[in-house]
Amino acid sequence: MGDSNPDIEMTPLIEFRGVTKVFGEGDAAVHALAGVDMIIRRREFVAIMGPSGSGKSTAMNILGGLDTPTDGAYFFDGVSVGELSLDDCALLRRHFLGFVFQGYNLLARTSALENVELPLVYRGVPVDERRRLAMAALAKVGLQGREHFEPSKLSGGQQQRVAIARAIVSAPEVLLADEPTGNLDTAKSREIMDLLTELRRAEGITIIMVTHEPDMANYADRIIRFVDGLIVADAAPREAA
């Protein structure tokens, strides 16, 4: 856990340059991000930590193309995301980013397989091809034989595996995981973290994870800590302890 990865490419995949985010105006203005510089390299596993209101969730929303900076610039693979059209931002999310949430966000009366197929439906992938890709994604997360189970028939850990399969089915460059173990017990949390670590190794995915759990953050190459809209620490887990 937290060891340096020789496969990490040193050129930045993601870069924040002086990113600020202000909500509201005048006396009611809230500076969620107060001038953040951040680099994340291809194939890195980065954990983002910080207290409530520290700016970590705002940073994740900007990384995911769900929000835009008030000032500063966000670059994805050398492209200034702030200069993209709304359509191009949607393409960025659809083709290059995968999302995993604490609450799984699965469709309740839909099988695991159909849940995983959903991003491919939005991309217009033909039925036979998306079925093949979804089956392969479920196999990668260890859910062979569970493809036709609805979420209510799966454990919390299995539901999160379905959510991870859905996030990786379109072969994204980056997996954005927001408290992916927040609803799981310790044993299931470790299983999910082991799975993410293996997917990073096998698929070459860059992982950015928000967590409040130090034990889960220790799986990452780096831990970035936010306080009051600023990065106050950025180090390997042993150094960040």
Q: How far is residue 47's CA from residue 59's CA, in Å, rounded to a whole number?
A: 12
Q: Quick one: pLDDT band at residue 214, thresholds 50, 70, 90?
A: very high
**How much is the pLDDT for 27?**
87
Is the pLDDT confidence value at 211 over 80?
Answer: yes
| Helix 156-168, helix 186-203: angle, nearest 10 | 20
Is the pLDDT confidence value at 4 over 60?
Answer: no
Q: Tokens 């200069």 — which residue?
A: 83
Is the pLDDT confidence value at 6 over 60?
Answer: no
Superfamily of domain 12-240: P-loop containing nucleotide triphosphate hydrolases (3.40.50.300)
**How much is the pLDDT for 240?**
56
Q: Quick one: pLDDT band at residue 5, thresholds 50, 70, 90?
A: low
Per-residue model confidence as pLDDT tens digits over 52-76: 999 999 999 999 998 999 999 999 9
Q: Are 195 and 164 in contact (CB under 8 A)?
A: yes
Q: How far is residue 84's CA from residue 223's CA, in Å, rounded to a whole number?
A: 29
**CA 82 and chain centroid, separation:** 20
**How much is the pLDDT for 221?**
95
**How much is the pLDDT for 238?**
75
Residues in the chain: 241
Rounded average pLDDT over 18-26: 94
Rounded average pLDDT over 166-182: 94
Per-residue model confidence as pLDDT tens digits over 73-115: 999 999 999 888 889 988 898 889 999 988 888 999 999 999 9
Rounded average pLDDT over 173-185: 93
Question: Exposure of 128 by Cβ count < 10 A (0-12 exposed, 13-18 middle, 19+ buried)?
Answer: exposed
Is the pLDDT confidence value at 128 over 90?
Answer: yes
Is the pLDDT confidence value at 7 over 70?
Answer: no
**How much is the pLDDT for 237?**
87
Rounded average pLDDT over 25-43: 93
Own/partner long-range contacts of 185-189 (Cβ < 8 Å, ≥24 apart): 186/215, 188/155, 188/156, 188/157, 188/160, 189/213, 189/215, 189/216
**How much is the pLDDT for 239?**
65
Q: How far is residue 118's CA from residue 8's CA, in Å, rounded to a whole number?
A: 30
Weakest mean pLDDT among 3-7, 86-90, 217-221: 3-7
Mean pLDDT of the chain: 92
The domains of the chain are located at: 12-240
